Amino acid sequence: MSKIATQCVQGGYTPKNGEPRQIPIIQSTTFKYDTSEDMGLLFDLKASGYFYTRLQNPTNDLVAAKICELEGGTAAVLTSSGQAANFFSIFNICSAGDHVVASSAIYGGTFNLFGVTMKRMGIDFTFVRPDATDDEIHAAFRPNTKALFGETIANPALDILDIERFANIAHANGVPLIVDNTFPTPINCRPFEWGADIVTHATTKYMDGHGTCVGGAIVDSGNFCWDDHADKYPGLTTPDASYHGITYTKQFGQAGAFITKCVAQLMRDFGCIPSPHNSFLLNLGLESLHVRMPRHCENAQAVAEFLEKHPKVAWVNFCGLPSNRYYALAQKYLPNGSCGVISFGLKGGRVAAEEFMKHLQVAIIATHVADAHSCILHPANATHRQLSDDELRACGVGPDLIRLSVGIEDVADILADVENALTFVK
């Protein structure tokens, strides 16, 4: 198998004689067949092929195949957003009356999706701290628990998930571990190597890398044996009445059942597909992912070290600093670097943060992260604006917290920008 840098450039698509070198954009909603019988086989899932882009599209599939290779999985699907990827990853194996255990250190959008919106669908979530003890996590499981969920590097708290420990706990309880691997990307961490069963991504972030397209992906390791827990996962292990009585694990095997069901049922009914043009742009991002990630990490490391030494800085949270409480875990799971996102606070608190941000020129103020451009956000003044200072502290995003997503500009310019802005702060 080729190395990950080669997979970034060439994975998922090998053109045949005379075919386009670049992944073609198949900008067509529909596909033509000679006979109704030909098309009937596709609708019965008896032949593979394309009929309607809401279910599958060749451009989307080629890019999904590349991400599948990068993660070392057996099957993958692209979604219209990271939110859709996380929703499908759970809803594919849960129905009303089911329960999921999730790390509390996850993206705010995911936290709300799980704790509010999916709760309204009758799926219950119990949140556990990523640093909870094994006993505490085991105690959160119930007979109707169908999955354990976490984020490799939490956005924006930057906690590191002990993937191997969480995988062992999930498997001891007979459920898969689902990991949102958005921040490290497979360049810096491949959760399947540590026992995770399903990986999700907001491709919107580093994979796209240029702030052009919202998108997501779900990858299956093919390692979780649904048939061993057949009573828990009837959707995968018993006939699907909405698909001519197909049993996914029988027809597509352990390696293909989860993603096939996700496409055949959830894409069919919810339609959260990316446009083929967006997938094409995502692929351009993937082609340089292995070059960009090390630069993000290197630049972030330099900025974190600079901030930690600065007299006006109160604290810095970045797992590449030996002083960080997740440094040891990061050395295990992220030996080549974590990502470009840092959070920090100034001694002058909220007021100083506001002043500091007025004077930045290289880092732009944006809600986005994980982009080639350095971006900065003061959540207390933006995403978390409705919360009081006490509420902010309670959710781990204090009024002084500044989130800096370090880009791939020249690090000397980024450092000079930060240093200059700090001179305006009391």
Ligand X SMILES: *Cc1c(COP(=O)(O)O)cnc(C)c1O
- Point out which residues bind ligand X (CB under 6 A): 81-83, 86, 107, 109-110, 151, 155, 180, 182, 202, 204-205, 214, 216
Q: Which H or E run contains 343?
A: strand 341-346
**What residue spans of 247-385 are helical by DSSP H?**
248-261, 268-270, 276-287, 289-309, 327-333, 349-358
Burial of 359 (0-12, 13-18, 19+ CB in 10 A): middle
In the complex, the smallest distance separating the C-beta of residue 132 from ligand X, rounded to whole angstroms, is 20
User: Of 161 and 411, which has the nearer Cβ to ligand X?
Assistant: 161
In the complex, the smallest distance separating the C-beta of residue 180 from ligand X, rounded to whole angstroms, is 5
User: Of 60 and 204, which has the nearer Cβ to ligand X?
Assistant: 204
In the complex, the smallest distance separating the C-beta of residue 338 from ligand X, rounded to whole angstroms, is 13
Q: Which residue is nearest to ligand X (CB)?
A: 82
In the complex, the smallest distance separating the C-beta of residue 171 from ligand X, rounded to whole angstroms, is 23
CA nearest to 173, candidates 204, 192, 197: 197
How far is it, in rounded angstroms, from Cα 180 to Cα 173? 20
The pair of three-digit structure tokens given for residue 31, joined into one six-digit string = 């596909």
CA nearest to 317, candidates 349, 339, 293, 336: 339
User: Of 85 and 264, which has the nearer Cβ to ligand X?
Assistant: 85
Three-class secondary structure of residue 219 per DSSP: strand
Contacts of 134 (CB under 8 A, 6+ apart): 165, 169
In the complex, the smallest distance separating the C-beta of residue 288 from ligand X, rounded to whole angstroms, is 20
DSSP β-ladder status, 99-103 and 145-151: parallel
User: Of 204 and 301, which has the nearer Cβ to ligand X?
Assistant: 204
User: Of 110 and 249, which has the nearer Cβ to ligand X?
Assistant: 110
How far is it, in rounded angstroms, from Cα 328 to Cα 43? 51
Burial 7-42 (b: 16+ CB within 10 A, else e): bbeebbbeeeeeeeeebebbeeeebeeeeeeebeeb
In the complex, the smallest distance separating the C-beta of residue 364 from ligand X, rounded to whole angstroms, is 17
User: Of 123 and 425, which has the nearer Cβ to ligand X?
Assistant: 123
In the complex, the smallest distance separating the C-beta of residue 407 from ligand X, rounded to whole angstroms, is 16
User: Of 48 and 112, which has the nearer Cβ to ligand X?
Assistant: 112
User: Of 83 and 299, which has the nearer Cβ to ligand X?
Assistant: 83
Cα separations in angstroms, 365 against 133, 183, 236, 269, 408: 38, 19, 45, 37, 16
How far is it, in rounded angstroms, from Cα 222 to Cα 218? 12
How far is it, in rounded angstroms, from Cα 249 to Cα 405? 41
Residue pair 343/401 in contact (Cβ under 8 Å)? The answer is yes
In the complex, the smallest distance separating the C-beta of residue 214 from ligand X, rounded to whole angstroms, is 5
In the complex, the smallest distance separating the C-beta of residue 77 from ligand X, rounded to whole angstroms, is 15
**What residue spans of 327-407 are helical by DSSP H?**
327-333, 349-358, 389-394
User: Of 109 and 256, which has the nearer Cβ to ligand X?
Assistant: 109
How far is it, in rounded angstroms, from Cα 197 to Cα 221? 5
User: Of 162 and 208, which has the nearer Cβ to ligand X?
Assistant: 208
In the complex, the smallest distance separating the C-beta of residue 187 from ligand X, rounded to whole angstroms, is 16
